[in-house]
Every structure is written in structure tokens, then in C-alpha cells.
Homo-oligomer: A and B are copies of this chain.
């Protein structure tokens, strides 16, 4: 077994309203910044042991499917690096 870190990035699907990002964008504009758009996402870094990188990615993908992401409103991607 090898130690891996799987990074799961969970973002809202296109078209889903994101009031937190909108508020953050407006606050930056009030501070004088000019920006076209701002999107927010959640990032989970999971340390786990697995036989190989493929197995680590499969485990992290199952975690995203079952808990970390809500498939109705979220997309996610998984990236695995050796720890």
C-alpha cells in the first residue's frame, strides 16, 4: 500500500445560482477591483492508502459520489498525487 493524496474539487454546475460568489464579487468591486466573474468551489484533500494511483482515484471518486458532491447541483474532479 502506498500513501496518496486525492484532491476532490467540487463546483456548482453551470446555471446553478451561487449567491456566495456573487457577494464576494461585489465586495471585491467595492474595494476597487475590476473582475469579469468569480466562481467558488470546495476543495477536499484526502490522504489515503491504496495499492496504486488508479485505486486511490477510484476511492476518492466514490467518496465524491456518495458524500462530497451532490450530483443534482455539483460537478467534481479528482486528482491524485503520491504523498
Contacts and interface: CB of A to CB of B under 8 A. Distances in A.
A42 B44 contact: no
Nearest to A7: B41
A66 B31 contact: yes
A66 to B, nearest CB: 6
A49 interface: yes
B67 A48 contact: no
B38 A59 contact: no
Interface of A: 3, 9, 21, 24, 27-28, 31, 33-49, 59, 62-63, 66-68
Top 8 closest A-B pairs, CB basis?
Answer: A36-B47, A37-B47, A41-B43, A39-B45, A35-B48, A43-B43, A38-B46, A35-B46
